[in-house]
């Protein structure tokens, strides 16, 4: 009986010490207890102001969708009937509005066919393009993106290089 009682007490003590050690072991990258609820982040305001008053935000890597450099709070919600982004960035108005044109990739459907209008699969702009917010990173990172060069800039640079050789 004494042996069984000692064994039960030893198992119980081991369970308590293991559970205490396990509770201290898991920490998130931000140093928070993973079991605790995440604190609510402070609401950040968007960096951009009126459309056309901001410079485009530099891209971090070549295939990054450009971020929206202007405020979007007063824009209508994008739905199947309306897309206020296309009022300025659509093929019909971008030159008049002095806005960047919707990318050529937006005029190709999923089967690779070129279209006259933007593809319905690319209709929801804010699925890839997001407004810029000045927020500190959640974790430290030493990521360095590759410099983004516009196709026209790359072609101009290559032509200038070729001219210098001649």
SS3 (DSSP) at 108: strand
Return the domain boundaries, the chain. 44-161
Q: Say what the pLDDT of residue 24 is.
A: 60
Q: Length of the chain, please?
A: 166
What CATH architecture does domain 44-161 belong to? Orthogonal Bundle (1.10)
Six-digit token string for 151: 């196709």
Has this prediction a pTM greater than 0.75? no
| Distance in Å from the first CA to the final CA of the chain | 100
| C-alpha distance from residue 120 to each of 91, 100, 144 (Å) | 15, 19, 34
Query: Quick check: 155 pLDDT over 90?
Result: no
Q: What share of the chain is helix, strand, coil (3-state, %, to 5)?
A: 35, 5, 60
Q: DSSP for 8-70?
A: HHHHHHHHHHHHHHHHHH-B-TTS-BTTSPPPPPPPPPBS-BSTTSSPPPPPSSTTPPPPB-B
Please report, rounded to a whole number, the percentage of residues in the chain having pLDDT higher than 90: 4
pLDDT digits (tens, 9 = 90+) for 91-100: 888 999 988 8
């Amino acid at each position: 009986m004494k042996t069984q009682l000692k064994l039960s007490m030893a198992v119980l003590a081991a369970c308590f010490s293991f559970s205490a050690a396990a509770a201290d072991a898991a920490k998130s990258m931000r140093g928070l207890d993973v079991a605790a609820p995440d604190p609510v982040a402070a609401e950040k305001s968007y960096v951009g102001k009126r459309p056309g008053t901001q410079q485009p935000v530099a891209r971090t890597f070549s295939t990054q969708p450009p971020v929206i450099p202007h405020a979007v709070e007063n824009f209508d919600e994008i739905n199947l009937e309306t897309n206020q982004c296309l009022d300025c960035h659509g093929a019909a108005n971008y030159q008049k509005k002095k806005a960047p044109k919707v990318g050529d990739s937006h005029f190709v459907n999923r089967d690779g066919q070129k279209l006259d209008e933007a593809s319905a699969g690319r209709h929801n702009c804010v699925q890839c393009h997001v407004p810029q917010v000045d927020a500190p990173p959640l974790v430290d990172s030493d990521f360095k993106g590759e410099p983004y060069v516009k196709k026209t800039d790359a072609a101009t640079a290559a032509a200038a290089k070729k001219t210098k050789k001649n």
